[in-house]
Amino acid sequence: MNFAFTDEQLALAATVRDVLRAHCPPAALRSERRPGWEQLAALGFFGLLLPPESDGLGLGLADVVPALEETGRACLPGPVVETAVAAPYLVAGAPKLASGTVCVSVLLPGQVYAPDADLANVIVVAGADGLRLVARESARLTPRPGADPCRPLFEVAFEESERLGGSAGPALRRATVATAAQLIGVARELLAVSVAYAKVRTQFGAAIGSFQAVKHQLADVAVAVEFAAPLVYRAALAVDGDAATVERDVSAAKAAAGEAATLAARVALQVHGAIGYTEELDLRFWIARAWSLSAAYGTTAAHRERVRAAVLGGDVRRYP
């Protein structure tokens, strides 16, 4: 057993982090729909989980969890999880998927609207009769109001579609864990930004970060993130290993990550005071992302409910 990321897994994350620092700065969130996307594609990011026969690297979810955290840390817009994590298990054979020139949105069980569907070339929709592939041209998209300006939501209607084999399960599980990983990244960034602000903002002649009421809120965020992250890592391993406990583990991860991120958002706002409550400050992008991702692929409440049903139903198996 070695419950620590390998050097390769961490190196991949560091590369993604550097690329996003350079190509997805906060200013880009205001002006572009998909900043950093091309540069990520050049790295092979969209082929990480694809099998080699589809020009991918055939990595497991656990290999890319730290890199996915970085996409959350950068608040990267666009259907990243859908294209890089879900699509390989829905439309692996789609030409150009590995190169990142095809952009995918999904509407899987547990989702209400398709995120970033306006950017997608294809949308995979789960219906009563299985999975359907809808080309962008055949889809009628109705924008739905949401909390996150960088993750627009759409209702999807269509007449023409292509039937897909397979089931939504494998893609949905991975998208859920990937979203949980992004939430951890969002939470870490919210904490870092709040700590930095608490060191420089002074009131009563002292940095606000020297006041215990501020310190203790930030310490609680640190604890929440610190103990949510291992549940996400474990869920990724459970998915990769097809563990018998996988559904329970995925839900536990998503609920804990969602709660940690929304706590981080709440505290970030409080620590920043009124400036945090403005459109002007970039902070609002991360706050909104914490809300939008905690509602994505099943709300925190829905996942809590699933964990409760499993655990109280007698599934108290530990993994391993």
Partner 1 sequence: MDLDFSPAEREFRAEVRDWLSTHAPGPLPSMDTPEGFAAHRAWEARLAGARLSVVSWPEEYGGRGASLIDWLIFEEEYWAAGAPARVTQNGIFLLAPCLMRFGTPEQRERWLPRMARGDDVWAQAWSEPEAGSDLAALISRAEPAPGGWRLYGHKTWSSRAAYASHGFGLFRTSGTRHKGLTYFMFPMDDVAVRPIAQLDGLPGFAELHFDGVFVDDSTVLGEVGEGWRIAMATTSSERGLTLRSPGRFLATADRLVTLARRSSAAGAPALADRAARCWTEAEAYRLHTFGTARKIMAGEEVGAAASMGKVFWSELDLRMHTLAMELLGERAGETPWLDGFLFSLAGPIYAGTNEIQRNIIAERVLGLPR
- For partner 1, the binding residue among 173, 174, 234, 289 (CB under 8 A) is 234
Q: Report how far residue 258's alpha carbon sits from residue 261's, in angstroms, rounded to the nearest whole number.
A: 5
Asked if 281 is part of the footprint of partner 1 (rule: CB under 8 A), the reply reads no
Asked if 275 is part of the footprint of partner 1 (rule: CB under 8 A), the reply reads no
Pair 45, 57: CB distance under 8 Å: no
Question: Could you tell me which residues are beta bridge partners of residue 130?
Answer: 127
Q: Which is nearer to partner 1, 128 or 312 (CB)?
A: 312
- For partner 1, the binding residue among 98, 237, 261, 264 (CB under 8 A) is 237
Q: Which is nearer to partner 1, 102 or 207 (CB)?
A: 207
Pair 164, 205: CB distance under 8 Å: no
Question: Minimum CB separation from partner 1 for residue 69, in Å?
Answer: 13
- For partner 1, the binding residue among 109, 127, 130, 320 (CB under 8 A) is 320
CA 241 to chain centre: 21
Pair 12, 63: CB distance under 8 Å: yes
Find the length of the chain.
Answer: 320
Q: Which is nearer to partner 1, 25 or 320 (CB)?
A: 320
For residue 94, give the nearest of 38, 125, 51 by alpha carbon. 51
- For partner 1, the binding residue among 256, 267, 293, 295 (CB under 8 A) is 256
Q: Which is nearer to partner 1, 75 or 310 (CB)?
A: 310
Contacts 24+ apart (CB under 8 A), 242-249: 243/319, 244/317, 245/315, 245/317, 245/319, 246/173, 247/173, 247/306, 247/310, 248/306, 248/307, 248/310, 248/311, 248/315, 249/319
Q: What tokens were used for 199?
A: 């060191």
Phi-psi region of 223 (alpha: psi -120 to 50; beta: other; left: phi over 0): alpha
Which residues between 288 and 317 bind partner 1 (CB under 8 A)?
A: 304-305, 307-308, 310-312, 314, 316
Question: Minimum CB separation from partner 1 for residue 81, in Å?
Answer: 20
Question: Minimum CB separation from partner 1 for residue 165, in Å?
Answer: 31
Q: Which is nearer to partner 1, 41 or 57 (CB)?
A: 57
Pair 319, 249: CB distance under 8 Å: yes
Asked if 198 is part of the footprint of partner 1 (rule: CB under 8 A), the reply reads yes
Asked if 174 is part of the footprint of partner 1 (rule: CB under 8 A), the reply reads no
Q: Which is nearer to partner 1, 162 or 226 (CB)?
A: 226
Question: Minimum CB separation from partner 1 for residue 200, in Å?
Answer: 10
Question: Minimum CB separation from partner 1 for residue 145, in Å?
Answer: 30
SS3 217: helix
Pair 97, 47: CB distance under 8 Å: yes
Binding-site string for partner 1 from residue 112 to residue 151, where x marks contact by CB under 8 A and - marks none:
----------------------------------------
Question: Minimum CB separation from partner 1 for residue 277, in Å?
Answer: 22
Q: How many CB atoms lie within 10 A of CB 127?
A: 12
Whether the upstream peptide bond of residue 66 has omega within 30° of 0, thus cis, is no
Which residues between 6 and 45 bind partner 1 (CB under 8 A)?
A: 6, 9
Q: Which is nearer to partner 1, 214 or 293 (CB)?
A: 214
Task: Report the interface residues with partner 1, using CB under 8 A.
Answer: 1-6, 9, 62, 191, 195, 198-199, 206-207, 209-210, 212, 214-216, 218-220, 222-223, 226-228, 230-231, 233-234, 237, 252, 255-256, 304-305, 307-308, 310-312, 314, 316, 318-320
